[in-house]
């Protein structure tokens, strides 16, 4: 029970921690006040509660696919927030700071709300566990701690890179996270028969099964699938290319509107 | 030689795009009008699965291979459970006293384990396509 609890909570937390660490690292390099992590988490927890109630209310609606619709809606909103952040990032170093900060916060709040909603369902399932509930709660705390620690470690790892590489690395990571979110949304729509089920393109479960710890981690972070359908692989690739196209377009068009043309990103560690 | 102003060039480009859009719309309408309506697809096979005391009933399911199947998971417990299967690529939380619907397949012949993520030691089952 303890190990199961660690894995379930860790898998949900690590996706949020990964996204938050990328956004906060970008805010650091851009020298903008990053979205307040504590506020985003608290707002996200409130959102998780609301999302949990909402999913229960709509579960039987939409032909019995209210669960899928609710999750896809939040995933789509998160993806759009990530795309908007990516677009504004490419206007650096003259990116509109207030808008960028709000969009980063929105992406974090939405991610916390969705993953937190799943954790709340798990906690609700513990109510009839009797003596095992303490093990489950201990496991949940351990899983959350490991997830947040991993996110913190990744944040400081990103800070060790050169400022010139920070924008490219951060944008790439955001594009990958966004593609993972789109891939997961596609799976839900296939599950609801709103998108066609197809024969998998390949089967990589022999060398990296989804059920393995690394496989589960990659699924949470970038939407890894051992047996992706052509549709899912296409959505993953298309969302990556769209993110890249938006980034390049903003980088090129930015100077025409007074953005982007300016000195390169300063080293945050040097005093100005 | 006189050159058109940027405003006139933009206006002409907009008019050109509108003409192209109208032609595309006409062609699509003509194609759809000539295409006969497809025959309605047969309703997929529905399989009932119950979850009681964190156990799946039945724990073994057989379905025809290469056939899409509609799975109804009825959670008879008061606590939620997450129906999950790595092999089937399916995950759905089923609140207590609710019924979830998922579509599965078409599947190649083989065995596809599934489990209750919140109670993996007890809620286990296997779906066999043959």
B-side interface with A, Cβ within 8 Å? 68, 77-82, 86, 89-93, 95-96, 98-103, 105-106, 108, 117-121
Contacts A225 to B, Cβ<8 Å: 89
ipTM for the assembly: 0.84
Q: Does A127 touch chain B (CB under 8 A)?
A: yes
CB contact under 8 A, A199 and B78: no
Band (pLDDT 50/70/90 cuts) for residue B2 is: low
* Nearest-Cα residue of chain A relative to residue B81: A125
Nearest beta carbon to residue B81 from set A65, A68, A125: A125
Q: Which helix (H) or strand (E) holds B128?
A: strand B124-129
- In total, chain B counts a number of residues equal to 130
pLDDT tens-digit profile of A152-207? 999 999 999 888 788 888 889 999 999 999 999 999 999 999 999 998 898 898 88
Q: Which helix (H) or strand (E) holds A23?
A: helix A2-29
pLDDT tens-digit profile of A199-256? 889 889 888 988 888 888 888 888 888 889 999 999 999 999 999 888 888 877 766 6
Contacts B90 to A, Cβ<8 Å: 191
* Nearest-Cα residue of chain A relative to residue B118: A122
- Using the CB atoms, write b or e for A122-157: b if 16+ within 10 Å: bbbbbeebeebeebbbebbebbbebbbebbeebbee
Band (pLDDT 50/70/90 cuts) for residue A272 is: very low
Interface A–B counts its CB contacts (< 8 A) at 68
pTM for this structure? 0.83
pLDDT tens-digit profile of A16-46? 999 999 999 988 888 877 667 788 888 999 9
Chain A window 197-226: which residues touch B at a Cβ cutoff of 8 Å? 197, 199, 209-211, 225-226
- CB count, 10 Å around CB of A53? 12
Strands in B99-104's sheet, in edge-to-edge order, are B55-57, B45-52, B69-75, B99-104
Q: 3-state DSSP call for residue B101?
A: strand
CA-CA distance, A249 to A255, in Å (whole number)? 11
């Amino acid at each position: 029970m303890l190990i199961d609890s660690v894995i379930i909570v860790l898998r949900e937390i690590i996706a949020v921690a990964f996204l938050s660490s990328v956004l906060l690292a970008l805010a650091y390099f851009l020298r903008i006040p990053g979205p307040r992590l504590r506020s985003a988490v608290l707002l996200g927890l409130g959102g998780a509660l609301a999302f949990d109630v909402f999913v229960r209310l709509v579960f039987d609606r939409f032909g019995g696919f209210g669960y899928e619709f609710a999750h896809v809606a939040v995933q789509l909103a998160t993806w759009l927030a990530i795309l908007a952040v990516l677009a504004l990032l490419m206007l650096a170093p003259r990116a509109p700071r207030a808008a960028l900060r709000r969009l980063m916060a929105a992406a974090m709040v939405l991610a916390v709300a969705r993953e937190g909603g799943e954790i709340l369902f798990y906690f609700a399932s513990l109510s009839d566990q009797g003596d095992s509930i303490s093990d489950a709660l201990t496991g949940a705390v351990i899983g959350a701690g490991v997830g947040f620690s991993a996110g913190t470690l990744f944040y400081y790892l990103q800070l060790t890179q050169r400022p010139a590489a920070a924008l490219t690395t951060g944008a790439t990571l955001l594009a990958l996270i966004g593609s993972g979110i789109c891939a997961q949304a596609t799976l839900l729509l296939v599950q609801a028969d709103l998108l066609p089920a197809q024969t998998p393109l390949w089967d990589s479960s022999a060398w990296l099964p989804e059920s393995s710890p690394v496989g589960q981690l990659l699924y949470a972070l970038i939407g890894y699938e051992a047996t992706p359908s052509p549709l899912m692989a296409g959505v993953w690739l298309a969302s990556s290319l769209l993110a890249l196209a938006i980034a390049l377009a903003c980088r090129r068009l930015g100077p025409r509107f007074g953005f982007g043309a300016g000195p390169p990103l300063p080293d945050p560690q040097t005093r100005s | 030689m006189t050159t058109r102003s940027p405003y006139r060039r933009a206006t002409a480009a907009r008019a050109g795009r509108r003409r192209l859009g109208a032609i595309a719309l006409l062609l699509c309408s003509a194609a759809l009008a000539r295409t006969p309506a497809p025959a309605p697809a047969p309703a997929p096979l529905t399989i009932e699965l119950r979850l009681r005391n964190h156990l799946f009933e039945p724990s073994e399911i057989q379905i025809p291979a290469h056939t899409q199947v509609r799975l109804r998971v009825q959670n008879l417990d008061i606590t939620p459970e997450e129906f999950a299967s790595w092999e089937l690529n399916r995950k759905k939380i089923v609140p207590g006293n609710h019924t979830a619907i998922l579509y599965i397949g078409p599947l190649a012949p083989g065995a596809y384990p599934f489990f209750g993520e919140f109670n993996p030691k007890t809620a286990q089952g296997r779906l066999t396509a043959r």
